[in-house]
Amino acid sequence: MGLLDDLTAPEASECMFAGLLGTLPAEERAAVVNVIEQIRSMPRVQGRTTTPNVKWLWRILSNNGHKIGVNNLTRHVRQECSCR
């Protein structure tokens, strides 16, 4: 592909978190997606937030052996990652 083709038809790629989601069993994936939707539906405010929030989800994932950066997770939740 040439430069013009690449600029007019960018390929979507999965972010690191979407890749991690793909490795989870269906039940766990559905639970994580549900939590992400809950986080997205809450208003973003400065200061303390309620649970569930991104750091809470990140700690749970990390404690269960899933290596993902909190910034990668935050970008995915905010839909600012490469898969959007």
Indicate yes or no: pTM above 0.95: no
Residue 73: what pLDDT? 95
Residue 9: what pLDDT? 65
Residue 30: what pLDDT? 97
- What count of Cα atoms within 13 Å lies in the side-chain half-sphere of residue 1? 9
Calculate the CA dihedral of residues 9, 69, 57, 60 and round it to 10 degrees. 140
The confidence band for 82, taking pLDDT boundaries of 50, 70 and 90, is: confident
Q: What is the pLDDT of residues 41-58, one digit of tens each?
A: 887 776 666 778 999 999
Residue 6 reports pLDDT greater than 80: no
- CA 65 vs. chain centroid, Å, equals 16
